[in-house]
């Protein structure tokens, strides 16, 4: 089966990836949210200058006709479907309309409360929405994810989605030592109150370009982390990892907090399978 735009999800043969078999769709190329830690900048040219895709809807419809029923489609892994372009062009909304005619499981990953606009369509699909929250501190957020809706808006979106019986998860990703690791409990507590059913957490795993952006934006934090990543840590494929013990301690911390608030938990590409209480890492198990 050869598809054009909804492609089999490719985790670059990451040894730690525990994702179920799924497809991936990016309605736009690039992303205007400008998160400094974004890894997609390392393989998509002019990433921070997003653009529309030619004949998106035609291609989506064609691919939907080829993909087996009940497949999982993850949207998006290398962009945000609810970035500013979507406000203007509504192309992802049109994709959601196409999905209404098929029997797929749709997993949406976003940082934007624009997802609320589409509640009417989401209600009619087998879907879950995972929203990323990394910090509630505005001064950090402004530098870390400069063009995104603020975290309070995202929290509100999680609450409204949950009230509308749309299944929700949180991506607590990435966690940086010395930057946002002191907010883990606050984030978990508040999303639990908002009705979130699953949390997936991951540590920052820079590639060269995202590391440079961290150095420019948070020089003091980068100074503390430099030897941890580049001397004591590991390189896996194109990403640098913190030392294993440090990652384990961070993930154990999130695990224990999630246990305290009775919320299922998993990690993303960390390799600590014993720290898992959710049935899937990406939240797709929520969709039935």
| Site residues for ligand SF4 per CB under 6 A | 31, 33-35, 38, 40, 79-80, 111
Instruction: Output 33 or 248, the one with its CB closest to ligand SF4.
Output: 33
The C-alpha atoms of residue 32 and residue 80 are separated, in whole angstroms, by 8
Least CB distance to ligand SF4 at residue 159 (A): 21
- To the nearest whole angstrom, how small is the minimum distance from the Cβ of residue 100 to ligand SF4? 26
Cβ proximity to ligand SF4, 31 vs 73, nearer residue? 31
In this complex, which beta carbon is closest to ligand SF4, that of residue 26 or of residue 255?
26
Evaluate whether 269 touches 93 at the Cβ level (below 8 Å). no
Please state the closest distance from residue 123 (CB atom) to ligand SF4, in A.
24
Residue 107 CA to residue 148 CA, distance in Å, equals 20
- State the minimum distance, in angstroms, from the CB of residue 111 to ligand SF4: 5
Angstrom distance (rounded) from CA 151 to CA 171: 12
Q: Closer to ligand SF4 at the Cβ: 80 or 276?
A: 80
Cα torsion 29, 198, 128, 153: sign:
negative
Q: Is the peptide bond before 76 cis (omega within 30 degrees of 0)?
A: yes
Q: Which of these, 137, 99, 91, lies nearest to 117 by C-alpha position?
A: 91
- Shortest Å, Cβ 38 to ligand SF4: 3
- Would you say 80 or 86 has its CB closer to ligand SF4? 80
At 224 the three-state DSSP class reads helix
Q: Looking up tokens 């607590």, which residue turns up?
A: 172
């Amino acid at each position: 089966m050869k598809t054009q735009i909804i492609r089999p999800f490719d985790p670059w043969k990451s040894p730690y990836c525990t994702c179920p078999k799924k497809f991936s769709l990016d309605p736009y190329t690039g992303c205007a949210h400008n998160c400094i830690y974004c890894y997609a900048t390392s393989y998509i040219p002019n990433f921070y200058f997003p653009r529309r895709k030619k004949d998106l809807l035609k291609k989506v419809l064609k691919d939907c006709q080829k993909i087996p029923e009940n497949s999982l489609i993850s949207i998006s892994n290398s962009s945000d479907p609810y970035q500013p372009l979507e406000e203007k062009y509504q192309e992802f909304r049109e994709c959601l309309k196409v999905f209404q005619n098929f029997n797929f499981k749709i997993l949406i990953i976003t940082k934007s409360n624009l997802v609320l606009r589409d509640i009417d369509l989401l209600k009619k699909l087998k879907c879950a929405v995972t929203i990323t929250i990394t910090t509630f501190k505005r001064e950090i957020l402004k530098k870390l994810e400069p063009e995104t809706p603020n975290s309070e808006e995202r929290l509100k979106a999680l609450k409204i989605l949950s009230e509308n019986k749309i299944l929700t998860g949180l991506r607590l990703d990435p966690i940086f030592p010395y930057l946002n690791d002191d907010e883990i409990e606050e984030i978990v507590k508040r999303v639990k109150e908002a009705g979130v059913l699953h949390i997936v957490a991951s540590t920052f795993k820079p590639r060269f370009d995202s590391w440079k952006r961290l150095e420019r934006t948070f020089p003091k934090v980068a100074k503390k982390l430099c030897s941890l990543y580049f001397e004591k840590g590991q390189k896996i494929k194109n990403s640098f990892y913190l030392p294993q013990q440090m990652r384990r301690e961070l993930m154990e911390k999130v695990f224990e907090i999630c246990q305290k608030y009775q919320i299922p938990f998993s990690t993303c590409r960390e390799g600590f399978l014993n720290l898992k209480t959710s049935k899937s890492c990406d939240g797709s198990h929520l969709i039935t």
